[in-house]
Structure 1
Amino acid sequence: MPAPANDRKARTRRWFAGFRERETWAAYAFLSPWIIGFLVFMGGPMVISFVLSLTDYDAIGDTRNVGWANYEKLLSDPKIRTSLANTMIYTVLAVPATMIVSLTLASMLHRVGRRSAGVFRTLFYLPEVTPKVAVGVLFLLLFNGQVGLVNGALGLVGIDGPQWSTDPNWVKPGLVLMDIWSVGGTVIIYLAALNNVPRDLYEAAALDGVSAWQRFRHITLPMISGALFFTLIVQTIYKLQTFDEAYTAFYGSAASAQYSNDAALFYLVYLFQQAFQFLHMGFASAMAWLLFVVIMIITIIQVRVSNRFVYYEGGDR
């Protein structure tokens, strides 16, 4: 009777092979919206952008292939260096400030009751839904050197506030302070991470007489290091692409033109000017690819360095 047994095994193998094939096609069907969206809205435009970066396309006249001339121009344009330096400085200031303030607020929420925490979570998140253009206009209202509310409040305690919107040394710190106003999303992420820290670790540390600072340093920070690393990556990428607030406050209207100076010339602001004011679409495409490479290099460095500091539940670092 070996033949029927072999037939059953063969049918079983064919059935499982067909099942796996059906599962594969079902998986592709569910993934197809993302795949199509990526090809249409990301992959395709990236390829087109790279092609344009090799031309002198200006959306009006004839297009000529200029090879790597746009990339060579990136090395000789002084405003590229200025805008890239401004963006880097702003990112170095804004990312740690955002993370520290968010972690502080999340720690405070973690200590209050659930009902109160829900109310404050909503209040902290509300600025996230504020249009960035409105934040840029609000910057000029709050940080005006003569009639701004910030300098007015500082004057009440005898402090002569700086010229936030015109002094090159204070433009980027002022924008960082405005950016901290909308940290609600990061606060929510940190609060969720804090809620997942096992309570028995704190109880054991308290029994051993460990101070609050030591508990925070040796228990809280390692246990939420995954969330910290995630927000570090996301915030770095986001800050390197800062545009809305700076452009609205310093370049977006005739009223704000008087405040315009190179201290607020961020990389995407200069890219926007090249693309839509001067119609240098090819050069702007080359600028976009330079920013892509810079972000990719910084992200790779962060991922490599994180292996030493990020704690995973499996015990690996």
Structure 2
Amino acid sequence: MASAIRRRRTVTAYLFCTPALLGMLVFFVFPLVMTVYYSFTSFDLSNAPRWNDFANWKFLFGQDPLIGKAALNTLWFVAILVPVRIAGAMLVAWALTRARRASGALRTVYYLPALVPPVASTIAFVFLLNPATGPVNRLLAAFGIHGPGWFTDPAWAKPALVLLGLWVLGDIMVIFLAALLDVPTEQYEAAELDGANGVQRFWYITLPNMAPVLVFALITGIIAALQYFTEPAVASATAMGKSSVGAGTSTLLGWPDESTLTYGQLLYSKAFGANLFGYASAMAVVLFVVAGLATAVLLRRFRSLTPEVAS
């Protein structure tokens, strides 16, 4: 009798999970399997896929002249943009916890940029940082400082995108703010009685309590940086005076001087510009594997630190 009840409950649970499982199979597992299959084919949407063994993979890992530059630029954004956004969001959230007057208005002000569509915010930043007519360089000139070329200078294009990322950090900031407000105040009081200074309280109390939130922000930030596409593509097109983002494989991709060319842009270009969907599928598989490995490493590292955090 007990086993029959247990089986009935198991069947009921699976029935309730069926919509989610079907959705995962249709929208995740099946596309993933087909992407892996297409990565071993020559496929252009106009003709049936033709099996070409490892031709796409050989070109990806040894013959594509742009893949190295795109990978290095993407890793630059992972290594610079993600930590800068997390640090900036943490600083703003900490400052808001100390604000006594107009704290609600300040939270709104800091969060509003995150609601602006990425295309609109990128176009606005390109005009603000225009080296000739932009208000930022004009303000610098008023103080006798010669402003950089920003999106027209290969050395400054990526830092300009980092500034844009700092402006729209409200999405991470509100999560950090909630986590900071959730830290038990009695722990701060006990540490203060023991003579701990501000840095020690932040290191030994704030960070351990915020560890899950920080890991979440780091994982989602790395995944977003690995797929970084909209902002650099729109910035390049706008700085060149184009009205749309093209999918071609011209030398202007990632302008200026391929400094903003990311892995996501190159993948999009290969698929929808050159119609090399088999090769683009191979690139997508690599991107999926790298993102999965990064997530697994961070989660494993976080679990190894869990006993220390708990203590």
Same fold (TM over 0.5): yes
Equivalent position of 1:10 in the other structure: none
8 Å CA contact retained: 1:99, 1:186? yes
Does the 8 A contact of 1:243 with 1:269 survive in 2?
A: yes
Letter of the aligned partner of 1:170 in structure 2? W
Instruction: Specify the structure having the higher radius of gyration (Cα).
Output: 1
- Contact kept in structure 2, 1:143 and 1:149, CA below 8 Å: yes
Which deviations, in whole Å up to 9, do the C-alpha atoms of 1:35-57 show, x marking residues without a partner? Answer: 12211111111111111111110
2:3 aligns with one of 12, 17, 21:
17
- Maintained 8 Å contact 2:111/2:170: yes
CA distance in structure 1 between the partners assigned to 2:278 and 2:211 by the alignment? 41
Ranges in structure 2 where 5+ consecutive residues have no aligned partner: 246-251
Residues 78-89 of structure 1 mapped to structure 2, 5 A cutoff: 78-89=65-76
- Is 2:287 aligned against 1:287? no
Partners of 1:19 and 1:126 in 2: CA distance: 52
Moved more, 191-200 or 60-69: 60-69
- Give the length in aligned residue pairs: 300
2:185 maps to 199
Cα offset, 1:285, TM superposition: 0.5
Taking the aligned partners of 2:263 and 2:90, their CA distance within structure 1 comes to: 28
**Equivalent of residue 294 in structure 2, options 298, 303, 307:** 298
Partners in 1 of 2:129 and 2:82 — Cα distance?
A: 21
Which one of 80, 94, 111 corresponds to residue 107 of structure 1? Answer: 94
- Show CA shifts across 1:205-239 (max 9, x none): 22223222221122112221221122111111111
CA contact under 8 A between 1:189 and 1:227: conserved in structure 2? yes
Query: After the TM superposition, which residues 220-235 of structure 1 pair with which residues of structure 2 at under 5 Å, given as runs?
Result: 220-235=206-221
Match of 1:137 in 2: 123
Deviates more, 1:266-275 or 1:218-227: 218-227
Q: Structure 1 residue 314: deviation in Å? A: 4.1
Q: Which moved more, 1:133-142 or 1:267-276?
A: 133-142
**Alpha-carbon RMSD:** 2.2
Same amino acid, percent of matched pairs: 37
Alignment of structure 1 residues 199-218 onto 2, 5 Å: 199-218=185-204
Task: Report the counterpart of residue 105 of structure 2 in structure 1.
Answer: 119
The amino acid across from 1:191 in the alignment is L
Partner amino acid for 1:88? L
Mark the CA change 1:47 to 1:123 in structure 2 (over 3 Å): closer, same or farther: same
How far 1:312 sits from its partner (Å)? 6.8
Deviation digits for residues 255-312 of structure 1, max 9, x if unmatched? Answer: 2487543111100101111000111111100111111122223233333433455567
Give matches, 1:21-40, under 5 Å: 21-40=7-26
Asked whether the 8 Å contact 2:126–2:239 carries over to 1, the reply is no
Task: Report the CA distance shift for 1:151/1:242 in structure 2 as closer, same or farther (over 3 A).
Answer: same
Aligned to 1:261: 257
| Residue 276 (structure 1) aligned with residue 262 (structure 2) | no
- CA deviations over 1:59-88 (Å, ceiling 9, x no partner): 123431101110110012121111011000
Structure 1, residues 90-109: CA drift from partner, whole Å, max 9, x if none?
11110110011100111112
TM-score normalised per structure 1? 0.87
The amino acid that maps onto 2:297 is I
Do the aligned partners of 1:143 and 1:151 also contact (CA within 8 Å) in 2?
Answer: yes
Q: Is the 8 A contact 1:222 1:311 kept in 2?
A: no
TM-score by length of 2: 0.88
Match of 1:96 in 2: 83
Q: Report the counterpart of residue 189 of structure 1 in structure 2.
A: 175
Question: Match for 1:295: what amino acid?
Answer: A
